[in-house]
Chain A
Amino acid sequence: MRETIAAPTPGLDLSHHYGHHQAAAIRAGGLIFCSGMVAVNPETGEREHGTVTSETGRIFENLKLLLESAGSSLDRLVQVHAMIYDRIEYDVLNRVYRQFVPNAPPARTVMSVQIEAGFKVMLDVIAAA
């Protein structure tokens, strides 16, 4: 059973705003696979470039909206690829990150990659449904 999870708010429909040919998330086999999430305004879809701290905070808030609309939650995250523009901000990332997953955090790999639109952070996550 493969089910497309629609963006819960208009701003999170990145396919519509930016031509990203992707579902916001897919539920299958008891898991929820989310497309890479970046710091956009969940109502307007406007890009919110900022610091690693502000972008990460916005991303987690967007993921919360998305996962909760699908019956899941941040504490059911199982795997995160924490994509960052430069590993030098690793400690900054950790400080804000831990606030959102304080207990039994998901498995994580931090990956320094080139992210779309010059964003500093992108989170690529899988959650339990």
Chain B
Amino acid sequence: MSRLSRTVIEPVNPKLNVSRNANLPHSPGIRVGGYIFLSGMGPVDPATGGRNLGPIAEQIRQTLRNMGHMLESAGSSLGRIVKITIVLADIEDYDEMNRVWREFFPADPPARTTCALQLSNGNGVEIECIALAE
């Protein structure tokens, strides 16, 4: 079997390129074969590049919108996500997260795992995913 190709994915909006802007040792995403793996994303404001730390519902919406932009930059989309991992700073936000989740994935949602861990910068949420490339 021939080797799968591996390429770096970057967002069209440079404000959402946290890897580059914060000089972190990760790529925003990697495309390999027919799959895209995204680094964990938080509630970054696409206009300023700063953090959007409002109520958890808004943080989750912003993060998922940013994820949509990242995937679209690579020719994919939220609808092509196959597996998503949602990390909450506070597990008590689980029900609220589920409400926002249904707004973005009303039918045929991807596989999902949720857990609660320490997050940085006061973020209430961090989300990563695996998607089909196209």
Asked if the two chains touch in their complex, CB atoms less than 8 Å apart, one says yes
Binary flags per residue of B41-60, CB closer than 8 Å to A gives 1, else 0: 00000000000000000000
- Docked Cα-Cα span, A86 to B38, in Å, equals 23
User: Are A128 and B33 in contact, CB atoms less than 8 angstroms apart?
Assistant: yes
With both chains docked as a complex, state the minimum distance between the C-beta of A89 and any C-beta of chain B, in angstroms.
Answer: 11
A109 to B, closest residue via Cβ: B40
B6 within 8 A of A: yes
Are the C-beta atoms of A94 and B25 separated by less than 8 Å?
A: yes
Evaluate contact between A104 and B27: CB separation under 8 angstroms.
yes
Q: Is the CB of A30 within 8 A of B33?
A: yes
Chain A window 54-86, contacts with chain B (Cβ cutoff 8 Å), 1 for yes, 0 for no: 000000000000000000000010111000001
Could you tell me the distance in whole angstroms from the C-beta of A108 to the nearest C-beta in chain B?
4
Which interface residue of B26, B39, B128 has the most chain A CB atoms within 10 A? B26
B32 touches which one: A97, A105, A110, A128 (CB < 8 A)?
A: A128
CB distance from A62 to the nearest CB of B (A): 19
Q: Chain B: how many interface residues by the 8 Å CB criterion?
A: 29
Q: How large is the interface on A (under 10, 10 to 19, 20 to 34, 35 or more residues)?
A: 20 to 34
Looking at chain A's contact residues, is the secondary structure mostly helix, strand, loop, or mixed?
A: mixed
Main SS of the interface on chain B? strand
B85 interface residue per 8 A CB criterion: yes
B28 touches A107 (CB 8 A): yes
Contact flags A82-108 to B (C-beta < 8 A → 1, else 0): 000011001000100110010011111
> CB-CB < 8 A to A31: which residues of B?
4, 32-33, 35
B-side contacts of A87, CB under 8 Å: 118-120
Q: Which of B27, B33, B85 contacts A106 (CB 8 A)?
A: B27
Known: A107-B39, A109-B128. A79 touches B30 (CB 8 A): yes
- Can you list the 8 inter-chain pairs with the closest CB atoms, starting with the nearest? A109-B40, A98-B25, A108-B26, A79-B37, A112-B118, A107-B39, A30-B4, A107-B37
Residues in chain B within 8 A of chain A (CB atoms): 1, 3-4, 6, 8, 19, 24-30, 32-33, 35, 37-40, 85, 87, 117-120, 126, 128, 130
